[in-house]
Amino acid sequence: MLIEGSWAAAVVDETGDIPVNKYRMSGFWDIPLDSILRNIGKTTLLFAGVNADQCVMATLQDANFLGYDCIFVSNGSATTSPEYCWQATLYNVKQCFEFITDSFAILEAIGE
C-alpha cells in the first residue's frame, strides 16, 4: 500500500509536475484533479500504472465520463491480477473508452 509521506510514495520533484494524492480507486474521486487539469487546459490524458484492471481503469473511466480524451499506454501498465483480468481491461478500453497505444508509438509521434 502506498501511504503519503512514506518512501514507497515518494515523489521525484524535478519535473514541475503538480502532485495530487488520491484516496480511492479513481484518481478523480474526492480530489481536485479535474479542476487542476481544466485550469491548465489539458484535455488528453495518458494512462499507465500498476493494477491496470483496478485503479488505472477506474481513473480512466471517470476521466472519460468527464469528457477527457483517454489514451491507455499498454506497455506502461501491468496488474497483479490473473491474465484474464489484463485481457478484459485491454478489451474494455479498446471497445468502450478510447484508445490503446504503447510508449514506442508515443515517442515516434512526438519525434523522439
Give the domain CATH number at 34.
Answer: 3.40.50.850
Position 15 in a domain: no
Position 60 in a domain: yes
Domain count, the chain: 1
- pTM metric for this prediction: 0.87
Q: Does residue 55 register a pLDDT over 80?
A: yes
Contacts 24+ apart (CB under 8 A), 78-83: 78/50, 78/51, 78/52, 79/50, 79/51, 79/52, 79/53, 79/54, 80/50, 80/51, 81/51, 81/53, 81/54
Position 35 in a domain: yes
Position 21 in a domain: no
Average pLDDT over residues 24-48: 95
What range does the domain containing 91 cover?
26-109
Amino acid 51: pLDDT:
92
